[in-house]
Amino acid sequence: MKTIKILVYSLLCASIVVSCSSPKPDKRPNILLLCVDDLRPELNSFGASHIKSPNIDQLASQGVSFYNHYVNAPSCGPSRYTLLTGQYGGANNDALFKRAEAIGEGGKTANPSMPEWFKTHGYTTVSVGKVSHHPGGRGGSDWNDSTLVEMPNAWDKHLMPVAEWMHPRGAMHGLAHGEIRVKAEDMDVFQSAEGTDNNYPDGIIAEEAITQLRTLSEQDEKPFFLAVGFIKPHLPFGAPKPYLDTYDGVEIPIPEHRQKPETKTTWHPSGEFMKYNRWGKDPNNDPDFADEVRRHYAACVSYVDQQVGRVMAELKRSGADKNTIVILWGDHGWHLGEHAIWGKHSLFEESLQSPLIIHHPGMESTHTRTKAIVETVDIFPTLCDLSGIEKPKFVHGESLMPILSNQELKGNPAFAYTNGAITVRTQTHRLTLHKDGFTELYDHTSPEGESKNVAEVDFAMVQELKEVLKDKLPDKYRTLLDTQP
C-alpha cells in the first residue's frame, strides 16, 4: 500500500511539473487603439509644459512616446486610410469610401484592412466614434446610411452614439447641448459652455467605449480589438468651461515663424477655420484673438485627455490592462499660426507631426521617448508583431518593434502627400516636390527650419532625397518625380 501511495504521489508531482513547464498558450493580447482628431504633439509629456494632459501623460509613462511620428496625409480621411490599411493611398477624405466602392463593384477585391486582418485571426473587432473618416463609418447625407459602409468586413460592431446631436454628421461638428453645424458662418469657431463632459459629443463616445470595453473584457474565448475615436480638438473648438478655466493665468506660447511664406509652398488661407463665425476677427493680425484660439484649442486637448482617462480607468478596473496593447495616435497635426496657417492640409511640419504612444504588456522600457522617424503606416505591422500574428506582405510600413526595444534607433524617412505635392522627412531635412516641378528643401538643423527654402543652395541634398523618395513612392505618386528638372 505504501508503495502504491508513493507511486500515485510521484505521478501527481510529475503531472504538476508537466503542467507548469508546458502551460496552455495564453490568449493573444487585446488591442485598444485611441484615435484623437487634429491633435498636435503638444502634450505635457511631449514637452509642452503649458498643456494639462495628465491621463495621456500617464499612458506615456507606461510606454514609448514617438516624438517624430509623421502622418502620411495632412487630412482626416486619407490619414486614417493609411492607419487602417497599412498602405499609402489617396489624398482625399473619400479615400476609404472609394476603396469600399471598388470592393463592391464587379467582385473586385482589396487587401484586408487592419481590423479585418485581426478579425480573420480570431479577434472581436469593435469601433466607437471617429475611427475612419465618418464617425460610425457610414455614408449618406447624415452619415448614418447602413447601406453605405466605409470599411466593409472590418468591424463586428461599428458604433457612433449621437444623443441630442441627432446623427453622426451632427456630432462631428457639434457644440454643446446638441448644437450642430448647418452653416459654418453661423457657428462660433470656439465655445466653452457650462456643464458636464457629456454636454459635448466626446463625453458620450467615452461612455459607449466604456460600455463596450466592459463587455469585451468579460469574454474569455477571444481577444478584442477596440478602436475609439475622439472628435476634439477638431473644429469648432468646444469644451466644457472648467477645461478652459484651468488655463486662466497660464502663458500660452506664441509660435515662431508666423509669417506667410513669400515663395511657393503648400500654404493655404485656412479656409476650414476662417469659414466659422470669428466675430470679424483674424488671428493673423489680432494677437489677443490668436491667444484666445490657442487657449480654446488647449481646453479641447484637456477635455479629450479626460475622456482618454475614463476609458483607461475602465481598462484597469476590468483587469484587461494586464493583457492589452494600447496605442494613442493623433490623425495629423494642426497649425496654430505657424506660417500664418490655422488648420492642417499643408505639407509643413505642423500639419504632419502628431503624437504616437505605444504600450504593451511586459514592456521592459517604460516612460521612454524616441526621436526615431516613424510613419502612420508603421502601426499595422507593429500591431501584428506585438500580437504574434502574421504580418501581411502588402503593407507599406515597417514594424516599430526594434525601436520599442532600442529607442536610439533612427527609424526610416517619412513620406506624405496632398493632391498637388509630395514630401519626405528625414532626421535633418524635409524635401517637398510640387506637380509643376517646384522644389522646397528645409534644413531642420538650422534655427530657420521650414521658414527658409534652401533648395537652390543645396542641390546635392535635393538629389539625395529624391533618391530616398524613389525607394518609397507607390506607383501612383511616381509621376511627380518625372516633373522634376
Active-site annotation, residues: 76, 133
Q: Is the peptide bond before 236 cis (omega within 30 degrees of 0)?
A: yes
Please give the C-alpha separations between residue 325 and each of 36, 408, 466, 477, in angstroms, as whole numbers: 17, 22, 36, 34
Q: For cell 485656412, name the residue.
A: 270
- Contacts with 388 (C-beta within 8 Å, 6 or more apart), sequence order: 28, 29
Cα separation of 251 and 242, whole Å? 17
